[in-house]
């Protein structure tokens, strides 16, 4: 079904569905298979040389996962999407499809802790330099770009600071310097809250574990290709040049605007094997059907809980992009539907010890390293998601000992407020 004429809420349900399915099934089937029968040896050869589309092995593609990928691409208005086993693998496959030893990427300082470690440690060991800009100002990015830069990388909303990048300005910089702009849009809820392609992004990565799934039941990630970058500029011979793995096939000539996402699949999944299971893809499809409803309520509850915390005497400060006191308030109003997300941070008065007591005294809100769940989650970044960072890096990322990241779920917000109120009695 061609769903391009429909609005987001309709596409999140209908994209990827095949109304001609011979069984008449309303739902997507789960295809729990590792391999697929070939019609002939010639058919198999055409599949392996990429001259014919089709299923080879579930490490590369699967019918259930293909439906999930089609739905994600439809929600973003993109040329294609690739599902992988986690958000971190989405980032890794993306970067390794763009850069190799001796190359570099330029990134925002406001990164999820796992991304920071992947960039500064794992990729460095592979010979890829990750240059972290001192701020999200385009000028600080541009100062680090050279002839070996293969991407600009930013989170549409930083984790955990909720700093919102100026996507339009960074998109203009990326076009002027002729490098792709990669945006981690996990907080953007699969394009419902924020669609970076509308502002100049070329590639989007998401942790599907979060709002896409929405219920904390499976792991996954997606890479989305906007199809709006010119790969024939001489900077990416692995995309517009003879492929070592496919007897000299030129991916750009063969697949046009979708060349990048094809490379991520045929090289990234083939060699790294970070594929999702068909069952996880099925859970993602189910989650997507209610994404807009869930996110809208979570955003409304987030504002109410943030307002309560801002007035509480035991709270030192509240960082919520919906408040005009937040440095990213204007960017949030520009790039995010409703001018906000379902996450905010607070700093408590008191000490690290009293902050821990607060977290451990909560009854409804869970102490987990999770966002985008139907359950409200309170996370202490300094001892969890950003534990591996040095004190200097923690300060640069805006993480303090008494900071808490709050991802609001689907509970009644009055119950959450009462839960927070009783937990505050344990704060000095």
Q: Where are the domains of the chain?
A: 8-287, 292-424
* pLDDT tens per residue, range 210-255: 999 999 999 999 999 999 999 999 999 999 999 999 999 999 999 9
User: Above pLDDT 90, what percent of the chain?
Assistant: 85
Asked whether this chain's domains 8-287 and 292-424 adopt the same fold, the reply is: no
Which among 177, 171, 176 has a CA at the least distance from the CA of 202? 171
Scanning the structure block, which residue is given the tokens 């680090």? 144
* pLDDT tens per residue, range 74-128: 999 999 999 999 999 999 999 999 999 999 999 999 998 889 999 999 999 999 9
Give the fold, CATH level 3, of 292-424.
3.90.1150
Give the fold, CATH level 3, of 8-287.
3.40.640
């Amino acid at each position: 079904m061609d769903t391009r004429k429909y609005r987001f809420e309709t596409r999140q349900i209908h994209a990827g569905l095949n109304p001609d399915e011979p069984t008449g099934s309303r739902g997507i089937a789960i295809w729990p298979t590792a391999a697929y029968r070939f019609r002939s040896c010639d058919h198999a050869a055409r599949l392996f040389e990429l001259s014919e589309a089709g299923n080879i092995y579930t490490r590369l593609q699967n019918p259930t996962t293909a439906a999930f990928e089609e739905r994600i691409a439809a929600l973003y208005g993109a040329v294609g999407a690739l599902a992988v086993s986690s958000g971190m693998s989405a980032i890794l496959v993306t970067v390794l499809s763009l850069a190799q030893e001796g190359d570099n990427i330029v990134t925002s300082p406001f990164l999820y802790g796992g991304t920071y470690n992947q960039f500064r440690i794992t990729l460095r060991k592979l010979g890829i330099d990750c240059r972290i800009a001192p701020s999200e100002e385009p000028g600080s990015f541009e100062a680090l770009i050279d002839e070996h830069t293969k991407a600009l990388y930013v989170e549409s909303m930083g984790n955990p600071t909720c700093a919102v990048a100026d996507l339009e300005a960074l998109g203009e910089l990326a076009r002027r310097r002729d490098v792709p702009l990669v945006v981690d849009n996990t907080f953007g809820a699969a394009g419902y809250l924020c669609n970076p392609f509308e502002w100049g992004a070329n590639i989007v990565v998401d942790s599907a574990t979060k709002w896409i799934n929405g219920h904390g039941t499976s792991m996954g990630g997606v890479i989305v290709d906007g199809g709006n970058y010119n790969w024939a500029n001489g900077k990416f011979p692995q995309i517009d040049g003879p492929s070592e793995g496919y007897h000299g096939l030129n991916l750009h000539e063969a697949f046009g605007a979708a060349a990048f996402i094809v490379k991520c699949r045929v090289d990234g999944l083939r060699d790294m094997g970070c594929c999702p299971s068909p069952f996880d893809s099925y859970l993602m499809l189910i989650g997507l059907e209610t994404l807009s409803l869930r996110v809208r309520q979570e955003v409304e509850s987030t504002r109410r809980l943030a307002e309560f915390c801002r007035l509480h005497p035991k709270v030192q400060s509240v960082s919520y992009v919906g408040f005009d006191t937040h440095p990213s308030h204007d960017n949030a109003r520009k790039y995010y539907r409703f001018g906000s997300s379902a996450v905010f941070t607070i700093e408590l008065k008191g000490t690290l010890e009293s902050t821990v007591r607060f977290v451990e005294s909560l009854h409804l809100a869970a102490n987990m390293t999770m966002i985008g769940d139907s359950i409200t989650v309170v996370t202490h970044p300094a001892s969890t998601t950003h534990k591996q960072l040095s004190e200097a890096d923690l300060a640069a990322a805006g993480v303090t000992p008494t900071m808490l990241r709050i991802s609001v779920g689907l509970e009644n917000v009055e119950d959450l407020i009462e839960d927070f109120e009783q937990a505050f009695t344990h704060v000095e």
